[in-house]
Structure 1
Amino acid sequence: MNNKYKLCLVFMLLALLPDQYIQAQQQMTPASARKTSAAALKVKIPFETDNGAIILRVKINGSQRPLRLLFDTGADGMALSQDLADSIGLKVSRKQKASVVGGSMDIAVSEGNVVHLGAFDLPDQSIAIFKELHKGTDGIIGNTIARSYVTKVDFDKKELSLYDFDGYEYEQKGTVVPISIPSGLFIIPGSLAIVTGQAHPAEFIFDTGAAYQLICFRPFVKKNRLLVSGFKPEYHGSTSSMGVTTPTFSGKAASFSFSNMPLIKEMPVTLMAGGGQSEDWNPGFDGSIGARLISRYNFTINLKKKEIQLVANKSYDYPHDFAIGGYLFGFDGDGALVVQGLTAMENPGLKLKQGARLSALNGFSAPQLLKDRKQLDKLLAMPAGTNYVIESVYNGQVFKDTITKQ
């Protein structure tokens, strides 16, 4: 499976706005001096979702062209493609090297830009310019927002809110997860067990730009021999970032936990394999907690306190993603069962498409499968060679296909 929007993940993208960030950190008041009054709400921004990804609509400088940018907490800056940057008149200020998944590359940087989020402006923004980016969005907007404001993401309302740091209080009860922030990224301690009884402690990026539930990077996989210690891959694919492609294997982990959150059993995990630049790549972190897991929570990032609050949302108890017959299926935030992507070569004889919504799986609707998890488990436990009848809707058209479990 080729990751759909992980192309936009940039680790240590740039040291964007380092002076502003350091100054903001220095101006933060200690806990004893925090205001007791409610923090000022700066703006509420509606967003759209795509399999857990958060997509914001913005404008840049004087351009009237609306852009769809992926909100990517696994990137410490903004990025656009060269063609798009040229079309809206961005000026190159300098060039530098950027670290991406599996390697690095040279990029251009445009400084001093104004990003418009509706009527709210983010001034003096630096934007990385890459030769090409994923075509599904116009670019990425990294965690720059969270450096300047308390950032609350509500998947139930599909709304991102920004607040002043001083006086902010969480609006709902939830679990507060402490984070560290080396190199401008949000790091959470975790523990992964591929097989029961063999847990490996690790440090993971809180990464809304990763199209996975969890991905483990090559150095961590190699060090702990995760691919050869009882792991049973269900399919293989690749992850790509800015033109650098790395092979991957995906399957189930016996358990995963991060910080003080409850243990998650039988969770999908993707492991980076060797090959190419990934063998020499050392990001300094062990992996990413991605959007398919993060989107089960409404979350609030508060860098002043170095913490993220997580509140389970309506999708928290939805079944994990599953693969059948060369396709990856999963429930979106609204409870629809969607074709997330391909796990094998596309079968030209089938009408089933990525992005299609399933109206029925072997006669069971998505609401029925959500209500009766045991029925879904029975369907998924069928032996290899079992045929599944898939009824789907894509672009308003209804299709019926039969796929076979490998």
Structure 2
Amino acid sequence: MKVLKNMHLAIALLLFFANAKAQKAVTTIPFEMVHGAIVLKVKINNSNKILRLLFDTGADGMALSKQLADTIGLKVTRSNNASVVGGHMQINVSDGNEVHFENGFALQNQGIAIFPQMDKGLDGIIGNTMTKRYVTKIDFNNNQLSLYEFDGYTYEKGGTIVPITVPAGLFIIPGNVEIVAGKTYAGNFVFDTGASYNLICFRPFVRQNKLLISGFQSEYQASTVSMGIASPTFNGNANSFSFANTAAIKNMPITLMAGGGQNESWNPGFDGSIGMGIISRYNFTINRKRNEIYLLPNHTYNYPMHFSLHNYLLGFNLKGELEVQSIINTANPDSIIPKGARITSINDIDSQQLLKNPKKIEEFKKLPKDKVWFKIIYP
């Protein structure tokens, strides 16, 4: 009997150490958060130029602007037709590149799309290229991206498995949008870390379901820009949104794409994008071998949602600081608070009190513009 117990103990220890070995990350790469986006620092090939790339799961691969590609000496090997939010465009591609991260890890033989222009602010994007080769885990508590081998990987406890399909290299999740109570619209949505929204519904889905005239009340108009293609949007609140095995999100800010330009004939094959307003509330793991994403609520899970207040879209960042996410109305540039500015108080109520008591936010939204004032720390 003692021999049998010792044998069981030995087997348990072997399994423990085998799992620990399997769970060891191939590499752990630090990232920074810039206006709510995940940003990685890289060098490409033999260039010494440090590039800041958006980690964008709404893109299949890597992309740079033509100007930057020329600067670092990328060689065009072929051309391709690319789909971007709102339309299509012809691009060039450079194959066989080596991408070096700041911790010394490198990805070999990478294709890089070269666009005529890129959205301002960062040097380019790095999409789902890593997820093709490794289990990819994002930890917002520690600002780390870790890569693991597929075989033997197990998830932490306490999270939710979200099944996905992966057409064209993008992660698609079924979801249900309820603009007003009692009427639900089912759709398929991209898990998109490159989108700053909570949820954006694309033009074909909006038009087909007549969402703009479904009882939706727009709080402000704006536009979404992707690789130089702009599409107008209406922004307000949805009664709820739910996807896969997660709890429904109530009274959630939502963006509906209006008609204009190429998007009237654009058919992406999915209905919208789940963006960082929702995604950043979880530490998440992408496992393409199992076709699933594992969501584990992080310290921001119960933070208030982003909210519009007169000229600005405001939201709490990962540090619990209230930040200007974007500028809604630029008609009076002299009064503009820049994107990224921290709001320490509204009407002398400390932002930390608002974090704990979000009902106060609704009270501010009912006040006229001249009755709302901010205390600000500029970026």
Superposed pair shares fold, TM > 0.5: yes
Cα deviation for residue 325 of structure 1 reads 1.8
Letter aligned with residue 139 of structure 2:
D
SS in 2 for 1:260: coil
Aligned partners of 1:283 and 1:342: how far apart in 2?
A: 28
SS in 1 for 2:46: coil
Aligned partners of 1:61 and 1:346: how far apart in 2?
A: 44
Cα deviation for residue 345 of structure 1 reads 1.9
Aligned partners of 1:219 and 1:308: how far apart in 2?
A: 26
Cα deviation for residue 378 of structure 1 reads 2.6
Structure 2 counterpart of 1:161: 146
Structure 1 counterpart of 2:13: none
Aligned partners of 1:210 and 1:262: how far apart in 2?
A: 21
Letter aligned with residue 371 of structure 2:
N
Aligned partners of 1:36 and 1:331: how far apart in 2?
A: 36
Cα deviation for residue 386 of structure 1 reads 5.5
CA RMSD of aligned residues (A): 1.5
Cα deviation for residue 376 of structure 1 reads 2.8
Relative contact order higher in (CA < 8 Å, ≥ 6 apart): 1
- Cα deviation, 1:204-228, whole Å, max 9, x if unaligned, reads 0000001101000001000100000
Aligned partners of 2:271 and 2:28: how far apart in 1?
A: 33
8 Å contact from structure 2 (residues 177, 240) kept in 1:
yes
1:305 and 2:305 aligned: no
Structure 1 counterpart of 2:124: 139
SS in 1 for 2:207: helix
Cα deviation for residue 174 of structure 1 reads 0.4
1:81 and 2:62 aligned: no
Structure 2 counterpart of 1:71: 55
Structure 1 window deviating more from structure 2 (191-200 vs 354-363): it is 354-363
- Cα deviation, 1:229-266, whole Å, max 9, x if unaligned, reads 10000000111111111110000000000001001000
| 1:213 alignment partner, one of 194, 198, 203 | 198
Aligned partners of 1:98 and 1:351: how far apart in 2?
A: 35
Structure 2 counterpart of 1:55: 39
Aligned partners of 2:122 and 2:279: how far apart in 1?
A: 20
8 Å contact from structure 2 (residues 52, 123) kept in 1:
yes
8 Å contact from structure 1 (residues 338, 357) kept in 2:
yes
Structure 2 counterpart of 1:235: 220
Cα deviation for residue 37 of structure 1 reads 5.9
- Cα deviation, 1:331-376, whole Å, max 9, x if unaligned, reads 1111110111111124233252221101111101211111222333
Cα deviation for residue 178 of structure 1 reads 0.5
8 Å contact from structure 2 (residues 119, 228) kept in 1:
no
Letter aligned with residue 141 of structure 2:
D
Structure 1 counterpart of 2:277: 292
Structure 2 counterpart of 1:326: 311
Letter aligned with residue 315 of structure 1:
T
Percent same amino acid at aligned positions?
A: 55
**Structure 1 segment 247-286 matched on structure 2, within 5 A:** 247-286=232-271
8 Å contact from structure 1 (residues 332, 338) kept in 2:
yes
SS in 2 for 1:377: helix
- Cα deviation, 1:58-95, whole Å, max 9, x if unaligned, reads 11111111110000000001000111111111101011
1:179 and 2:179 aligned: no
Normalising by structure 2, we get a TM-score of: 0.92
Structure 1 counterpart of 2:373: 389
Aligned partners of 1:349 and 1:113: how far apart in 2?
A: 45
8 Å contact from structure 1 (residues 51, 292) kept in 2:
no
Aligned partners of 1:35 and 1:323: how far apart in 2?
A: 47
For structure 2, the residue ranges without an aligned partner over 5 or more in a row are 1-17
Cα deviation for residue 384 of structure 1 reads 4.0
Between structure 1 and structure 2, the one with the greater Rg is 2
SS in 2 for 1:352: coil
8 Å contact from structure 2 (residues 35, 340) kept in 1:
no
Structure 1 counterpart of 2:93: 109
8 Å contact from structure 1 (residues 46, 158) kept in 2:
yes
SS in 1 for 2:26: strand
Cα deviation for residue 383 of structure 1 reads 4.1
SS in 2 for 1:85: helix
Cα deviation for residue 321 of structure 1 reads 1.1
Normalising by structure 1, we get a TM-score of: 0.86
Aligned partners of 2:207 and 2:194: how far apart in 1?
A: 24
Cα deviation for residue 36 of structure 1 reads 9.2
| 2:320 alignment partner, one of 314, 322, 335 | 335
Aligned partners of 2:173 and 2:154: how far apart in 1?
A: 22
Structure 1 counterpart of 2:4: none
For structure 1, the residue ranges without an aligned partner over 5 or more in a row are 1-33, 396-406
Aligned partners of 1:154 and 1:37: how far apart in 2?
A: 20
Structure 2 counterpart of 1:8: none
